[in-house]
Amino acid sequence: MPGKFRYWCGECGYRTPWGDDAEGAERLALHYRRRHPGAEEGGDFEVRSGARRSGCLGALMLLLLPPGRRS
């Protein structure tokens, strides 16, 4: 499942792939070390809007349906 966060470089057009918060921050730090050595890390991040929410609500609803109505 794709992550919820993506980081943008403040020096160029690089954007990390969608991932979790820690993964995105680490990828951006690695990008700065490789492409912009000596530059202070900057940029921005975005949170995916409308990200799928997977959870147990669907399973709970299925369990609450009478056995004859599950299909």
Give the domain ranges of the chain.
5-69
pLDDT tens digits, one per residue of 10-45:
999 999 999 999 999 999 999 999 999 999 999 999
Query: For residue 37, what pLDDT is reported?
Result: 96
Average pLDDT for 64-70:
58
C-beta of residue 13 within 8 angstroms of C-beta of residue 7: no
Minimal CA–CA distance to 39: which of 66, 14, 9, 8?
9
Tell whether pTM > 0.85: no
Q: Under 8 Å CB-to-CB from 45, ≥6 apart: which residues?
A: 5, 6, 7, 8, 24
